[in-house]
């Protein structure tokens, strides 16, 4: 008798629920230029403008942040890998890919709302 292989479905990827985010404020976001591509970030990661990452002055590295453009309702979830921004009154620097996702790339900056992924207790 030949044994039949056991086939199991892979578990579904976890979905991030909208209420899993805790609002932390709003302000102006900008994005990194491609001149930083390939450089090390403050966390030690290599910056890739096509990844969904960001720089924030104080959030821990690895924190996932939902960035929403209130003018068009578009949101993106980024991972904090760097420190900054160091320009004016900006609250976050996004990768080029993240800025494109929420529609601020053309202008170079825009007002956004930030929410962090809530940690389960």
The predicted-structure confidence for 37-74, as pLDDT tens digits, reads as follows: 999 999 999 999 999 999 999 999 999 999 999 999 99
10 Å Cβ neighbour count for 63?
Answer: 17
Q: pLDDT tens digit string along 82-101?
A: 999 988 889 999 999 999 99
* Rg of the chain taking only CA atoms, in angstroms: 18
Confidence (pTM): 0.81
Alpha helix ranges (H) inside 46-118: 96-102
């Amino acid at each position: 008798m030949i044994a039949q292989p056991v086939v199991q479905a892979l578990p579904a990827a976890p979905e991030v629920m909208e209420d899993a985010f805790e609002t932390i404020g709003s302000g102006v976001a900008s994005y990194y230029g491609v001149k930083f591509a390939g450089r090390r970030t403050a966390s030690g990661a290599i910056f890739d403008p096509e990844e969904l990452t960001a720089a924030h002055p104080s959030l821990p590295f690895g924190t996932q942040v939902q960035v929403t453009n209130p003018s068009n309702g578009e949101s993106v979830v980024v991972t904090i890998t760097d420190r900054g921004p160091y320009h004016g009154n900006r609250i976050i620097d996004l990768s080029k890919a993240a800025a494109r996702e929420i529609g601020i790339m053309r202008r170079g900056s825009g007002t956004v709302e930030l929410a962090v992924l809530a940690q389960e207790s």
